[in-house]
Structure 1
């Protein structure tokens, strides 16, 4: 399996970004406003050397997106995905030299799922970060199977291990097997706050009562206020640090 950065193969940018998410991916995550700062083609225009693609027969079948940020004067880790996006945008606007990197996503074409491409992309991301002269790579990991247990705190979920000491969750286990080290929970990683009609469109649920609502695909309950016409979802992730 070949891997390239889009700095090496800018002609593959459209095909790389056209790799779809799985059909059951939660639509409500499009409502994370911080992600609009650095999602999409602006990332490849600014940091093509940090967007990687895995190729099969010369065509992209998986992608990985990394963004740089400066760790100087900041906490050891961002609070989560959203703050990493904000740090990156701030540093880009201010022209601040960066020394660290955060992975925003790994996406594998649904038709190629279960073939180990995530590990291939992780390796390519580490290589890209190293080649860029950045000294660390952190990942706010979203374990998709956590959605089956939204009421369980992420700290409890992430602490589960198998008899061999590896994480019980398959996606965390993939990261650890690839050399990652779990460093803690990002309790407030991503936030989606939107009016109830938008939540209804995203989920098909009525959103007609106050309190927590369990939404398919969500890793934690969504909190609803009918009187104030909004619902708020705060997603927890798990911080994993990879050697570069």
Structure 2
């Protein structure tokens, strides 16, 4: 099951695999999944005995959802790693992975509910998640603060993944503009872009939510992915 879950996660996030190169992901992510194995959830198809969705999370300590920082995913991973063996008061959702073939069946919302239930069983105060808006990559030049205020023709929040979280009882707290930070040489980004890149200005690659900024002197590209903090429940005393 572990191998199947890893394969499913890789299949889901492969097109934006550059996100695996944040310092927090490289230094801590795999070890945290091992250490908190009981926090990693699989939704299994009973006919195939194979997972169709995976949710990864870690217990974290924070003073409350309303005080979450401008950092997001990286911050949560680093904080979980720093508090190993210490107290936690919230469950931090790192990813819900549903491959394309299994989307549109309600599996992602099932995993949101499963994470909320897990938080309750662990005696924590709630769930926090740096949510990656699924339609933001089509609007990379729009500031995340503006994007979260968009609505569709029915008056609902525009982004379907944010809308799903709201439908399950989540609350939008604030954008986290530096949720995942990847800083790599220009050649790294050329590999992902599949083309040569100029070192004289910012550029876009498929899947990125914002442009990658370039340091022309060092020929380094820096990607600061914005996510949106969503909270279920509240903060409180640490356990």
Taking structure 1 as the reference length, what is the TM-score of the superposition? 0.87
In structure 1, distance between residues paired with 2:77 and 2:148: 23
Instruction: Tell me the C-alpha RMSD between the 2 structures.
Output: 2.1
In structure 1, distance between residues paired with 2:86 and 2:140: 38
In structure 1, distance between residues paired with 2:101 and 2:154: 30
1:61 aligns with 2:48: no
In structure 2, distance between residues paired with 1:205 and 1:129: 44
In structure 2, distance between residues paired with 1:70 and 1:55: 30
Q: Name the counterpart of 1:98.
A: 88
Report the more deviating stretch, 21-30 or 81-90.
21-30
Pick closer, same or farther for the CA change 1:45–1:27 going to 2, 3 Å.
Answer: closer
| Residue 191 of structure 1: how far off its partner (Å) | 0.4
Secondary structure of the 1:140 match is strand
In structure 1, distance between residues paired with 2:56 and 2:151: 28
Does the CA contact (< 8 Å) of 2:199 and 2:219 recur in 1? no
In structure 1, distance between residues paired with 2:207 and 2:28: 23
Does the CA contact (< 8 Å) of 1:34 and 1:85 recur in 2? yes
1:231 aligns with 2:221: yes
Pick closer, same or farther for the CA change 1:209–1:36 going to 2, 3 Å.
Answer: closer
Secondary structure of the 1:185 match is strand
1:155 aligns with 2:159: no
Does the CA contact (< 8 Å) of 1:143 and 1:237 recur in 2? yes
Pick closer, same or farther for the CA change 1:215–1:144 going to 2, 3 Å.
Answer: same
Pick closer, same or farther for the CA change 1:133–1:37 going to 2, 3 Å.
Answer: farther
Structure 2 unpaired stretches of 5+: 235-239
In structure 2, distance between residues paired with 1:116 and 1:212: 37
Does the CA contact (< 8 Å) of 1:32 and 1:192 recur in 2? yes
Does the CA contact (< 8 Å) of 1:49 and 1:132 recur in 2? no
1:110 aligns with 2:125: no
Does the CA contact (< 8 Å) of 1:13 and 1:44 recur in 2? no
| Residue 166 of structure 1: how far off its partner (Å) | 2.7
Secondary structure of the 1:67 match is strand
Does the CA contact (< 8 Å) of 2:176 and 2:227 recur in 1? yes
Out of 17, 21, 24, the residue aligned to residue 34 of structure 1 is: 24
Pick closer, same or farther for the CA change 1:158–1:74 going to 2, 3 Å.
Answer: closer
Does the CA contact (< 8 Å) of 2:94 and 2:130 recur in 1? yes
Q: Name the counterpart of 2:74.
A: 82
Does the CA contact (< 8 Å) of 1:101 and 1:138 recur in 2? yes
Q: How many residues align?
A: 230
In structure 2, distance between residues paired with 1:14 and 1:22: 14
Secondary structure of the 2:202 match is strand
